[in-house]
Chain A
Amino acid sequence: MRRQAIIGALLAAGGLSAPTSWASAQEPEVIHLEHGPDRLMRIMLDRRARLGIKVNLRARQTDSIGAYVDAVTPGGPAAQAGIRSGDIITRLNGKSVLAGGAAEDGDLHARESLPGLRLIELAARLEPNDTVPVEYRRGKDRRTASVVTADEPDVVFGPGEGGEFGFRFMGPGRPGGGPLPAGDFLERFEMAGPHWQFFSGSPLGRLELAPLNSDLGRYFGTDEGVLVISAPKDSALGLRGGDVVLTVDGRAPSSPSHLLRILRSYETGETFKLDIMRNRKRETVTARLGKRDD
């Protein structure tokens, strides 16, 4: 308890690092868009990386400025870079969403948002883990964020809603969806609505974690990594309160949820190496993903 209280006091002293800023981008490359539902569908299906936004595709007044963001996926690349719903994206990776746009289908363009369509086209060229500058407007403010793209969810084709042909995206608990999550425990949740039954498990078990920053780092001998606030005595990961997780098999977690994402790439029973700071000394521990309590 005392250890937790000390760490709690240190946490209160911690602050957030400043966002990255970008220099002004180069002149946009003019790209002529080929529109039409088939073309757009192909772009979306072949896309490998996601920005973590839902961009508006209907014509609207803000189209003279850029592509309007309808929604931002929580915890996704754009959210982590500070982009919010209602922002208007003007450039992606140095390319303007207003440039180009040679119309081939007048009727389509009368209804659709050209900047929105162009943003989708530009984003489709990205690969997972690309770091790209995104310039956007929030009200009158001009801002730039550095977004690290993530993998797209896999798409499956088959009977859609009402039995008609359609598409769904794979994931645990959904029809045709992926494997159950590994971890110390597995829980089943049910919510109102279609396909809202899902399983949750966490390799982090009952650990309590916090992100580390330079203010906190002074006390632990590092300003990077994830701080273990408390850990059960039988922690399968072999961690103790006060440890700082620096890397997992060479991958550096930036936050507790990032650490969880890294650990979820392993399956129950697999072993991996954790580089940690313990009592201000660097150590390597071998950990194994525990069995579920089922």
Chain B
Amino acid sequence: MTHLPMETLVGLREAGNEPGDTAAREHLNGCALCSAELERLHQRVARLKSLPALRPSRDRWPTVRERVRAERKRHRARFAGLAGLAAAASVALAVGVSTLRQPETELTPAEIEQAMVRSRVLESALDRIDPESRVLDGRTAGIAQELEDRIARVDRELEMAELMERQSRDAQLLRLWRERVGLLDALVDVHVTRASHVGL
């Protein structure tokens, strides 16, 4: 009998979507040796996870800054060749474009404020629901936690976006605040729907 190689065993730890997984799983069900090896693999991973976390030093910024500068330089160089041609066109377009862009720059901060207000309203709604003190089923808890994690990432991105240059900052902030509102809306829906289905 040919036993399963380590690569296949590792693959079987994930959801079985790969071609050939079915045959491998059938072999696994009938082979005590491979089953034991897979079990050892699980436990090895579990033991590794219980090791204390080692964190990288707090000095990633110099590398990141160099990468950002290099990218910006490359970006500028790419467009430098087009600058002469663009200059003539820009003179002709300047008046029109500035007229067109004016309402956008005025509107965006108001739209951001609108999204922030909506975000606060939804946070208050969640506060009133108080999910932590209620009965929770496993499925709802899973969805709610995924939405919360996504909001945490959006919040981090919002802070970073505040440091961007003004011309791109407002558009980014608006997009992120709207994403936050959408996720909060979904989170409130999840808890409200769950509350109406739990018979307690």
Interface residues of A (CB under 8 A from B): 4, 7-8, 11, 16, 37-38, 40-42, 44-46, 48, 50, 52-55, 57-58, 70-76, 80, 84-86, 120, 152-153, 155, 157, 161, 164-165, 167-172, 174, 180-181, 183-187, 189, 191-194, 196, 198-211, 229, 249, 255-257, 260-261, 264-272, 292, 294
Contacts and interface: CB of A to CB of B under 8 A. Distances in A.
A159 B65 CA distance: 15
Contacts of A207: 137-138
Interface in B166-181: 172, 175, 178-180
B86 to A, nearest CB: 18
A199 to B, nearest CB: 8
A257 B134 contact: no
B22 interface: no
B142 A157 contact: no
B114 to A, nearest CB: 14
B158 A11 contact: no
Given A54-B158, A181-B146, A294-B15, A48 B182 contact: no
B10 to A, nearest CB: 12
A265 B186 contact: no
Contact of B60 (A8, A45, A52): A45
A5 B145 CA distance: 27
Nearest to A186: B15
Contacts of A48: 55, 58
B152 A8 contact: no
A196 B127 CA distance: 24
A54 B155 contact: yes
Given A46-B58, A161-B172, A266-B49, A171 B153 contact: yes
Contacts of A208: 135-138, 198
Contacts of B64: 41, 45, 157
Bin the interface of chain B by size: 35 or more
B151 A74 contact: yes
B148 A80 contact: no
Contact of A75 (B45, B119, B148, B153): B148
A71 B116 contact: yes
A192 B159 CA distance: 23
A74 B124 CA distance: 10
A233 B64 CA distance: 52
A265 B49 contact: yes
Given A74-B123, A270-B46, A292-B15, A204 B155 contact: no
Given A48-B55, A257-B132, A202 B152 contact: no
B143 interface: yes
A44 B159 contact: yes
5 contacts: A183-B142, A205-B138, A206-B138, A211-B133, A270-B43
Contacts, number: 215
B45 A4 contact: no
Given A211-B133, A266-B46, A204 B153 contact: no
Contacts of A181: 142, 146
Contacts of A270: 42-43, 45-46, 49
B76 interface: no
Given A54-B159, A202-B141, A268 B127 contact: no
A266 B59 CA distance: 30
Given A157-B64, A208-B198, A74 B126 contact: yes
A44 B164 CA distance: 13
Question: Of residues B163, B172, B199, which shows the largest number of chain A Cβ atoms within 10 Å of its Cβ?
Answer: B163
B40 to A, nearest CB: 11
Nearest to B70: A165
A37 to B, nearest CB: 5
A210 B130 CA distance: 12
A194 B124 CA distance: 25
Contacts of B127: 84
B71 interface: yes
Given A183-B138, A189-B146, 8 more contacts: A70-B116, A71-B180, A153-B152, A153-B156, A171-B149, A194-B175, A207-B138, A209-B141
B160 A41 contact: yes
Contacts of A268: 13
Nearest to B188: A74
B132 A161 contact: no
Interface string B86-128: 0000000000000000000000000000001001100110110
B67 interface: yes
A191 B45 contact: no
B150 A198 contact: yes
